[in-house]
Structure 1
Amino acid sequence: MPERPAPRIRAARPEDDGELALLDRLTWSHLHAVMPEPQPPYAPFFSERHNPGDCLVAELGDRLAGYVHLGCPTPLDSNRHVLQIQGLAVAEEARGRGVGRALVRAATDEARRRGARRITLRVLAHNTPARALYEAQEFVVEGILPEEFLLDGKYVDDVFMGRFL
């Protein structure tokens, strides 16, 4: 069996906007999303909150296979030593190929490069694949907001995870 190539991680570029917006729509699910399903007209992927400089993308061959957004959890100077994963998506056809793992590792490396002491994230309690991925990358549960969201008629816990760099 031929060996599958590892994903290549790079910084996002402004011209990735359309492809990333499409990936975001195709991967939308209440497994991870608390916002309603996107409807036309679709918003651009990049915004004031998330610009290309805060996004890393994974490529398999010449195809965009996923992304991770890094950002500051608050606008406070006293919190600048912490960065947060504020979005992660992997294309359906790229799942099981190490893309999510490569993106989380790249986000951790980028946070370290930017001088962060910690990296954090929020994940829905019922998203067991994502929680397993984060735990495998040394993230630990640091807090839980019970029944924080009502999704598809069910209350879902919001789980805070983090790790020191």
Structure 2
Amino acid sequence: MSEFPASAMHSARSGSFRVRSARAEDGAALGALDRDTWSTLHAVAPEPVPPYDPFFDSTHRPEHYLVAEEVGGVGGVGETEGAEGGGELLGYIRLVPPTPLACNRHVRQIQGLAVAEAARGRGVARELLHGAYDEARRQGAARMTLRVLGHNAPARALYESEGFTVEGVLPGEFHLGGEYVDDVLMGRRLD
């Protein structure tokens, strides 16, 4: 992924942010953001406990992620050090091919979207999605897919407002918090 142009800068109610490609030095801040936003509303993996695994590893590389970064703000817990702009990381989206198959290379899948609690309602998730569409198109993709838990009404509403439609449901696929939860498959074209 490449650095996003200045046109990816956005003004929001409490400051400006930009969407850019993740860098290796973002790992610690993204790990903290991931732990801070963990919830059974969207996570099927157990709640993280110390010692924490690194955010980036051989299958979760910086080039798979876009981040939303505060610009001109005061920074904070998720502040990246030494990075140009160096603002607080407000959120991330992970975008990868769903399989290694050549016949599937026209598809990109969202495999994670998180926004810091304090940044919600500022359009961060929507701008991360728009950045992901642009990046997927740049990579030659014509289609985007995702999986979302059936009880995650806010995420489902966001995706539907962005043109994603339900393409399948795996009823009761996960047992979370004492309840069976559907796994909802959604997709959209990128043209």
User: What does 1:66-81 align with in structure 2 at a 5 Å threshold?
Assistant: 66-81=91-106
Name which of 167, 174, 190 aligns with 1:149. Answer: 174
Is contact 1:105–1:137 with CA below 8 Å preserved after alignment?
no
- Could you list the structure 1 runs, at least 4 aligned residues long, displaced by more than 3 angstroms after superposition: 2-6
C-alpha distance after superposition, 1:109-133 (max 9, x if no partner): 1101110010000000100111111
> Can you give the 5+ residue segments of structure 2 that lack an aligned partner in the other structure?
1-11, 72-86
- Provide the residue aligned with 1:54 in structure 2: 64
TM-score by length of 1: 0.96
Aligned-pair distance for 1:5?
A: 3.5
TM (norm. structure 2) is: 0.83
Identity of aligned residues (%): 63
Pick one of 106, 109, 113 that aligns with 2:138.
Answer: 113
Instruction: Specify the code of the residue in structure 2 equivalent to 1:152.
Output: G
Shift of 1:77: 1.5
Match status 1:17 vs 2:27: yes
Over the aligned positions, Cα root-mean-square deviation in angstroms equals: 1.2
Aligned equivalent of 1:86: 111
In structure 1, the gaps of 5 or more residues are none
1:104 corresponds, among 129, 135, 145, to 129
Higher relative contact order (CA 8 A, sep 6+): 1
Matched-pair contact (CA < 8 Å) for 2:13–2:122: no
Q: How many residues align?
A: 164
